[in-house]
């Protein structure tokens, strides 16, 4: 699997370019900003962008949606419960003195248990609310793209509108901590980790929590 991680925007969101191999079709997960940089990564690997997936609707994860949709014609997917967040992203960004580009409406609404398939790769949609009502992870081929659900040594914040700490904790423990220990976790911010590492050391959801 080809995975390129691009830290974009002022909040350094991890935007992931994912494909089975160079020269094929690609998924981009969480194009938070810097659409030109993401587009250049696609071109560098000779990839055709077919699908954009937002793991949730917060402004820092969606800022290049419109640019990439207009440049490539890719579909845009989001969990159905985060449509309002997506539509109000500009308002939320302004609260922090930041700006974002309004996203187009999603062309596909995701639900728990759905699959997304592009270029020979298939990922399961895992609904893991708590950071936002519609937060999701994508799981497949030993990789988990976790958005702001799970981080290396931490979890997503739950003090924003729509957040719920107990729901987030339960979802991580029941859905993510049962995955194989060697599963590579690609979070929405910060470095990669593994499920095994988080079971050992994560103070919120690990074995010692």
Per-residue pLDDT reduced to its tens digit, 119-148: 999 999 999 999 999 999 999 999 999 999
Which pLDDT belongs to residue 161? 83
CB 66 within 8 A of CB 102: yes
Q: Could you write out the DSSP letters of every residue in 100-142?
A: -PPPPPPSEEE-TT-EEEETTEEEEEEE-TTSSTT-EEEEETT
Per-residue pLDDT reduced to its tens digit, 141-169: 999 999 999 999 999 999 988 899 999 99
Q: What is the biggest distance separating any 2 CA atoms in the chain, rounded to whole angstroms?
A: 47
pLDDT over 90 at 71, yes or no: yes
Selected from 2.60.40.10, 3.60.15.10, 2.60.120.560, 3.90.45.10, the CATH number assigned to the domain covering 2-201 reads: 3.60.15.10
Query: How far apart (Å, rounded) are the C-alpha atoms in residues 86 and 54?
Result: 9
Instruction: Please compute, for residue 189, the number of CA atoms within 13 A of its CA located in the half-sphere on the CB side.
Output: 15
- Residue 132, token pair as written in the block: 């936002």
pLDDT over 90 at 209, yes or no: no
pTM: predicted TM-score of the whole model, two decimal places: 0.98
Query: How far apart (Å, rounded) are the C-alpha atoms in residues 17 and 92?
Result: 26
Rounded to a whole number, what is the distance in angstroms from the first to the last CA of the chain? 33
Per-residue pLDDT band at 12 (split at 50, 70, 90): very high
H helix or E strand, kind and range, residue 172: none
Average pLDDT over residues 179-184: 98
Which pLDDT belongs to residue 146? 98
Per-residue pLDDT reduced to its tens digit, 85-119: 999 999 999 999 999 999 999 999 999 999 999 99
**Domain range summary for the chain, segments of one domain joined by +:** 2-201
Q: Which of 56, 57, 76, 86 has its CA nearest to residue 146?
A: 56
């Amino acid at each position: 699997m080809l995975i390129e991680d691009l830290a974009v925007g002022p909040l350094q969101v991890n935007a992931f370019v994912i494909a089975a191999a160079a020269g094929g079709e690609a998924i981009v997960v969480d194009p938070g900003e810097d659409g030109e940089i993401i587009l250049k990564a696609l071109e560098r690997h000779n990839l055709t962008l077919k699908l954009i997936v937002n793991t949730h609707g917060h402004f820092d994860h969606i800022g290049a949606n419109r640019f990439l949709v207009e440049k490539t014609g890719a579909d845009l997917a989001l969990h159905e419960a985060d449509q309002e967040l997506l539509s109000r992203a500009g308002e939320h960004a302004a609260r922090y003195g930041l700006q974002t580009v309004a996203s187009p409406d999603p062309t596909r609404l995701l639900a728990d248990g759905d699959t997304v398939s592009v270029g020979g790769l298939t990922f399961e949609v895992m609904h893991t609310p708590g950071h936002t009502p519609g937060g999701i992870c994508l799981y497949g081929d030993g990789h988990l793209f976790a958005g702001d659900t799970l981080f290396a040594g931490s979890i997503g914040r739950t003090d924003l509108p729509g957040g719920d700490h107990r729901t987030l904790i339960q979802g991580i423990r029941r859905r993510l901590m049962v995955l194989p220990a060697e599963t590579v976790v690609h979070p929405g911010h910060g470095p990669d980790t593994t499920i095994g590492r988080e079971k050992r050391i994560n103070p919120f959801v690990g074995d010692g929590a």
